[in-house]
Amino acid sequence: MERPKVRVLIVEPNPRMRDFLRREFSKLNFLVEGVASGEDLFLRLDSGEKVHVVVFAMDIPGNTEGVLQQQLVTNYPDIPVILNAYLEDLPDSPFLRKVAAMVEKSGNPENLIRMVSRVLERYYPDLVENGAQGGSNV
């Protein structure tokens, strides 16, 4: 039986960055969706279709003081969240401890791709095998 594909949800306000990350993750056979707002994020998560990991940009509109990130980790505790942010954008919040990982934004997606692979291996070891779907050899 074929393993289901990993679904990554990218929450990023910049459409060019969303498209760039979508292309990069698609190269690894991930199913990738992108949303630009908190409203679209929660509509997507409530749709019933499985999301394996959320890559969350802290500069999403409406995320003042990390309120959207707080709602995300509180209301969807089973979905690992990776913050993709500039260090100066990180609020001083106890909810930062509830995310699976943090990666500083840069023009190079390698660190983010590597972190998504590590988080997937930790949360879904049966879904992601060594070297498969962006696994260990990324």
What tokens appear for 25 in the block? 């993750």
Cα Rg, the chain, nearest whole Å: 14
Residue range 91-137, pLDDT digits in tens: 676 677 788 998 988 878 899 999 999 999 999 988 776 544 444 33
Where do the domains of the chain lie?
7-123
| Confidence (pTM) | 0.86
Task: Kindly report, residue by residue over 45-92, the tens digit of the pLDDT.
Answer: 999 899 999 999 988 888 877 788 889 999 999 999 999 888 776 667
Residue 35: CB partners within 8 Å, gap ≥ 6? 9, 10, 11, 41, 44
> Is 4 a residue whose pLDDT tops 70?
no
Q: Are 66 and 93 in contact (CB under 8 A)?
A: yes
Q: Which helix (H) or strand (E) holds 54?
A: strand 53-57
7-123 to CATH, choices 3.40.50.850, 3.40.30.10, 2.30.130.60, 3.40.50.2300: 3.40.50.2300
